[in-house]
Each structure stands twice: as C-alpha cells, then as structure tokens.
Structure 1
C-alpha cells in the first residue's frame, strides 16, 4: 500500500512538472524529439516542444539538409509571453546559433519561478563535429552550458565546450577527466555528466554535483547506436525529476539504456549504427518506474 501511494505521488509530481523540450525534429532517424517524447511521456512527463531546426535525417547518414527555425522560436517566445506560459524544466538539445540561446534566456527570464535547465549539447562524436554543423553551434553550446543547471555532453562535446583538444585514446585517463571536470567547475558550469568515456577497455559516465565527483561504469556492447544520447538524456531527466539524485539517475539511465541495446543488438559485419526502435521498449521503461 505504501509503495503504491509513493508511486502515485511520483506520477502526480511528474504531471505537475511542465517540461519544455528544445531540440530538432528529424525526418528520418529515431533521434532527438522523436526519441525523447515517447520516453518522457511514458515516464508521465507533461511535455511541450520548441523546435530549433528541422533536419532531413539523422546526421549518422553522412549528409543532411537543415532548416534553421530561429525566427519561429522568436515568434513562439513572443506569443508565449503574451499567454504567460510557464515551464518548470527546460531541456535543450541541439541549438543552432547564439541567437537561439538568447531566446532560451528570454523564456527563462519571463518565468515567475526560475526553471531547472538541463542541456544535452549535441555537436559531435569521436572528436569531430557532425556533418552540417558549424562552430557557431559550438559557441551556442558553450553559452547555454553556463546557463544550465546540468549539462550532459559526451566526451567530444565536453572538449568543445572547454575549448580543449580532443585526446588520443591512449591519452584518456581518470586524471585527465578529473582535470576537465575541475576546469568546467571553475568556468561556472554547475553540474556536468560526461558520457562515452573510454579508459583502457572500460567505459564510464563521469559527473559532478557540488563538491562530489563520481563515475559509473557502463557495460560495453560492441555497437554504435544512433540516438543513444537522446534516450539516455530522456531516462535521466525523467528519473531526476522524480528523485533529484544525480548519480542515482545516471545509474538508472545507463542501466535501462544498456538493457535496451542488449535486446536490440545483433552481431553484424555492417559498420552502420543501429537505431533503437524505442516503441518496443516503452513497457520496460514503464515497469522500471
């Protein structure tokens, strides 16, 4: 009886917490808002959207057409201010330019209560920007990182945020990651969660909150997954809004994502990334709540 009452209270809290997802709509590919929306809805989130761009397909395909929606974002801001629409949490994904960051700041500023800001600065992987993206986007991500309460970059994106050269595999070690986390803290970044950190043969998620630095070891599955970051972020956000425990939310998101990839992965000679059919795993997410 007590457990059921607690679950109901968690569901009520999530429904009352109005979440604004700020990211791109992708035509082909189970990524970005098309991946995040079903997960957070399953986790009983009350979500709204502000698209930053419309993209023809996932960047993993090698080329993409991008329509920048900065003007639409500005128009939406103007209407929302008139309607006095309020948001408790703002989750940002890909931001195309510094003007979009200014729009996000304006949305934050007109709220009656400062929302929680969580940023997943989608820029690249393996030390490089995704095709079709520019250094203007990097600057936007650096600006929003200073405004956010929590950022969730992978190691490549973290290097861009800190203006650090991406290291060779042999140069990545615990001390290097700690030094980068300390640099981020000194720059004024409140909390950071760094995914896709490979040290030797092991994989980790690193993070810090206040004075605590932690890492969570991740089971390695020999495949690359398009949209894995969006799934991780959605699971993390949903759990964090329920429990407000950074490390526990990271562990939860990593565990659920790993289990999903295990079920989806099939050994293949193809070098293409797989994409998770997230609709097949929403029951798993629901049962984990």
Structure 2
C-alpha cells in the first residue's frame, strides 16, 4: 500500500484561482499527493489588467534532473498551460524520463490538458508552430481533455458556428484524435469539454471506441480555473482506478456546486470559482 502521487506541470498563480493553485488542494483533498512542477510564477493570472510573471523555463531542466536524482516515481502526470516550444520540449523530456523509461507496472498515467484557447479563439501566445508542437504531447498520452476549441485546433478544423456540434461529429473528432497517439490507438481516452448545449454544458467521453455525452445545467457566467478544477478531479480519480464516467460525473458535480456558490457571492469572473467551500465533500 502506498499513497498515490501526481506531478503537476503548470504555472503557479498567486491570485485568480487557476492552474496549480486550484489543482493542488483539490488533488490533496482526494487523498493523492500533488507535486508541483512550475512552468512560471505569476502574481495574478493574465486575465487581470496588470500582473507580475517570472518565466521558469530555464529552471525546469535542473528541477527535473533533481527529481530524477531522487528516483521519484509518479502514478500520474498532469500537464497544463505551456507558454513556448521550449517548454513543450522540456515536458517531452519529462515524459521520457518519468513515464517511458519506467517499467510498465510503474508507468504513470499521462493526462494532457492542451490549454490553448476557448470559445473558438486561441490565446494570444499560441502561434501555429506552438500549436503544432502541442500535438507531440498527445503521442504518449493516456487521457486528453481538450475543450472544443482545442480539439478543433489539434485537428486543423474550423470551429463550428456558435460552438454547436453533433454527437456524431464529436465521435468522429475523437477517432481522429486517437491517430495522434503513436502507440495503441485503442488505449487513449478523450474528454472534449465545455460543449454548448443551450441551457446545458456537455462533456463528450470517448473510451474503447465508444462515445457518450454527459450534460449538466449551465450555471451563470464563465469563471477562470473551472477547467483546472475539472481536470484535477479527473486525474486524481483515475490514478485511484475509478472509471472515466464516474470521474467526469464527480468533477462536473463539484464544479456545478462551486459555480452556484460563486454566483451567489457575485465573484468577478477573473477571481475564479469558490471551490474551497466544497473541498471536504470530495472522496
């Protein structure tokens, strides 16, 4: 018996409740050890009018080499926002050391959240070349969690008008995404998140060549960090050997409760969701 642990490859933001600042407490509440691997340090996220940022790229390799020297092993690796081609290259090195070079029994789950954009638009830092490099992370991924914008970009497809898309089309997109995987295509699991269903939000789940849509009532406005909370629950639940369907249901329910409370307090969108209120409900 041992406690599970996940390496979190993401930025650390002091204010605004996003990235590692959201993932770490949620994963810890699920009784999994969270080990941050910072890509940048920010005083507040980039949705604020002013912020301080310290890019961590030059420190990532020494940080990684120290973990290698300590002979650390992880049950999961969760990747998030990456700001440059160099950072993607460094994450590929991390995957080679801590996943591909491990015995099969010790090889961690690789969960790739390809954070690149939303609502049909890429973030300003994402150039076509950077998007092309992001595809390389999918080669060894066990689970990928793109939103519809990111899934379309990974497949070089146009974003559907108003974000409206059929389940059949989503299934076809998932089939195409599996071909970006270099090993057994049948093993990769996909969740396309944040699908517009009018008064509800859908998450399309692809597993074992079957697809399923799970819809949940849309709550209020969009808030920063919602996706980070969602994927943190998915990652921790999966390393504990829970099913993908139950993991998505748990994540969606937690985010829903947090959003209701956030709207009740009238929290500005860029201050994130009040997830702290419900941490003790996670199992």
TM range (shorter): 0.7 to 0.9
1:282 matched to 2:269? The reply is: no
Query: 2:264 is paired with a residue of what secondary structure?
Result: coil
What is the match of residue 97 of structure 2?
A: 110
Q: Which one of the candidate residues 155, 169, 174 is aligned to 2:148?
A: 155
Q: 1:235 to 1:177 in 2, by over 3 A?
A: same
Contact 1:59/1:131 (8 A) holds in 2: no
Q: 1:207 to 1:128 in 2, by over 3 A?
A: same
Q: 1:137 to 1:68 in 2, by over 3 A?
A: farther
- When the two structures are aligned, how many residues end up with a matched partner? 272
Q: Which one of the candidate residues 238, 241, 244 is aligned to 1:243?
A: 241
> What is the Cα deviation at residue 146 of structure 1?
2.2
Equivalences for residues 74-223 of structure 1 within 5 A: 74-111=61-98, 112-113=102-103, 114-169=107-162, 171-188=164-181, 190-223=188-221
Q: Structure 2: how far apart are the matches of 1:77 and 1:40?
A: 21
1:57 matched to 2:44? The reply is: yes
Give TM-score scaled by structure 2 length.
0.86
Contact 1:93/1:121 (8 A) holds in 2: yes
What is the match of residue 20 of structure 2?
A: 33
Q: Structure 2: how far apart are the matches of 1:116 and 1:143?
A: 16
Query: 1:184 is paired with a residue of what secondary structure?
Result: helix
Stretch deviating more after TM superposition (170-179 or 117-126):
170-179
> What is the Cα deviation at residue 253 of structure 1?
0.7
Q: Structure 2: how far apart are the matches of 1:102 and 1:131?
A: 20
Write out per-residue CA displacement over residues 44-87 of structure 1, whole angstroms, 9 at most, x where no aligned residue.
11121111122342233366554432221111122222222222
Give TM-score scaled by structure 1 length.
0.84
Q: Structure 2: how far apart are the matches of 1:179 and 1:63?
A: 41
Q: Structure 2: how far apart are the matches of 1:139 and 1:66?
A: 25
Unaligned runs of 5+ in 2: none
Write out per-residue CA displacement over residues 85-141 of structure 1, whole angstroms, 9 at most, x where no aligned residue.
222211111122333333233333334332210011112111112344444542342
> What is the Cα deviation at residue 169 of structure 1?
1.6
Q: Which one of the candidate residues 14, 19, 33 is aligned to 2:6?
A: 19
Q: 1:27 to 1:134 in 2, by over 3 A?
A: farther
Q: 1:157 to 1:59 in 2, by over 3 A?
A: farther
What is the match of residue 35 of structure 2?
A: 48
What is the match of residue 232 of structure 1?
A: 230
Query: 2:146 is paired with a residue of what secondary structure?
Result: coil
Q: Structure 2: how far apart are the matches of 1:141 and 1:65?
A: 25
Note the aligned Cα RMSD (angstroms): 2.4
Stretch deviating more after TM superposition (119-128 or 236-245):
236-245
Contact 2:145/2:190 (8 A) holds in 1: yes
> What is the Cα deviation at residue 156 of structure 1?
1.1
Stretch deviating more after TM superposition (245-254 or 272-281):
272-281
Contact 1:127/1:156 (8 A) holds in 2: yes
Query: 2:218 is paired with a residue of what secondary structure?
Result: coil
Contact 1:123/1:137 (8 A) holds in 2: no
Q: Structure 2: how far apart are the matches of 1:59 and 1:194?
A: 24
Contact 1:97/1:140 (8 A) holds in 2: no
